[in-house]
Amino acid sequence: MSCDYLVIGQGIAGSTLAWTLADAGYCVVIVDVAQQTNASSVAAGLVTPITGKRFTHARSWMAEWEVASRFYSRIEARLGTRFLHVQPSVRWFASEDEKELWQQRMRNGDYAGLDVRYVPGRDDGTIFAPYGGFEMFPSARLDTVTYLAATREYFCERGAYVQHELDLSGLVPSLEGVRVPALDIICQGVVFCQGHLGRSNPWFPHVDFRPAKGEILTLSIGGYEELRTQHFDVWLAPQKSGTFRTGSNYEWDQLDELPTERVRNALLQRLSGSFRVPVEVLNHQAGIRPAVSDSRPVVGFHATHPQLMILNGLGAKGTLWAPLASSLLLGLIADGEHIPAEWSVNRFECRGGS
């Protein structure tokens, strides 16, 4: 069997890269570990233009969003399936100091290009948000489960998806391409989109992975109806079933995919200050985010074997960054275009050697 590119991993990064390469005319085969729970499959998929305790809006955000929204819209049209839900989201203030900080940023024009407006406080028996908040647009939520399942089905139907736990040390790169004896495949190149499993990739040992475990609850909230994602002390994202998901914790020491009672209770405690109605836990999941030390994506060629490539490290911004990272890698493959230094794998190669 032969193909142009083998994509290892079918999370948000691998799925998005597979579509990007296929749309550019390349023959792509995805290889993914069977029955694996990855961070993408349990991720909230949120795209939020104003984030953090300081209400920061990154200057690069709008350009990244334009690439992402065009990409997901194109794939939705191709598949006849909706998975990107674009709507305003709301951030609630936790204090008067937060409100004053936001007002100052508004006066400074920090949110130029966005639709941002004040939302009055609420204490209506359902939500307790006395300091008010603000609505921001554009923002979005990617239904990651639907996106990943639709992608898998599309490539499966074309014989371009393989479930296999591949021993990466068995890859044989050469001037002609890469031979994969375990799958009897010869290809022009292999791209590793392995998420946190990239820590054990023998071809890119110098990438400084700092994976973080995150846990997500699926909730039923009595009498509460809302289509917008809400940001309290934690985020709360509506689901198509009328339920909600919440999360936003990071654990760096216990890197497994086992939900914990400690985090469950902590998330519910953080929500309890904002809701006056019963909150019921319907499901509890965990995954490991593939972050790196400087919280930027890792994109590019192997230092001595350019047939081997990496696209990883998207962290909590996978939905926003995956289309741009995939486009950059395509540009490198097809036209030798430059990868920005802050996203290039070369930043780690320079630190760690060959």
Instruction: Provide the pairing of β-strand 244-246 with 212-221.
Output: antiparallel
Cα(96)–Cα(18) distance, rounded to whole angstroms? 47
First to last CA, the chain: 31
Please tell me if the domain spanning 2-43+145-209+293-352 has the same topology as the one spanning 212-289.
Answer: no
Query: How confident is the model at residue 223, as a pLDDT?
Result: 82
pLDDT at 85: 96
Span 164-190, pLDDT tens digits = 999 999 999 999 999 999 999 999 999
User: Structure tokens of 68?
Assistant: 């992402």
Residues in the chain: 354
165 C-beta neighbours (distance < 10 Å), count: 11
Helix (H) or strand (E) holding 189, with range, is strand 185-192
Residue 281 φ/ψ, nearest 5 degrees = -85, 120
Q: Which of 114-123, 192-201, 345-354 has the lowest mean pLDDT?
A: 345-354
The yes-or-no verdict on residue 280 having pLDDT over 50 is: yes
Give me the residue spans of the domains in the chain: 2-43+145-209+293-352, 68-141, 212-289
Q: Between 44 and 328, where is the model more confident?
A: 328
Residues 210, 252: contact at Cβ < 8 Å? yes
Distances (CA, A) of 14 to 7, 97, 147, 152, 322: 6, 42, 12, 11, 9
* Percent residues over pLDDT 90 in the chain: 85
Among 69-83, 237-251, 283-297, which is the least confidently predicted range?
Answer: 237-251
For the domain covering 2-43+145-209+293-352, report its CATH number.
3.50.50.60
Query: What kind of architecture, by CATH, is found in domain 212-289?
Result: 2-Layer Sandwich (3.30)
Q: Are 192 and 204 in contact (CB under 8 A)?
A: yes
Mean pLDDT of all residues in 11-37? 91
Question: What is residue 270's predicted lDDT score, i.e. its pLDDT?
Answer: 93
- Reported as a single tens digit per residue, the pLDDT across 142-168 is 999 999 999 999 999 999 999 999 999
Q: Which residues pair with 312 in a beta bridge?
A: 298
Report the distance separating Cα 207 and Cα 291, nearest Å: 10
pLDDT at 240: 79
- pLDDT tens for each residue of 68-81: 999 999 999 999 99
Query: How far is 23 from 6, CA to CA, in rounded Å?
Result: 15
Instruction: Identify the three-state secondary structure at position 40.
Output: helix
Global confidence as pTM: 0.94
pLDDT-based confidence at residue 192 (cuts at 50, 70, 90): very high
Q: What is the pLDDT of residue 353?
A: 39
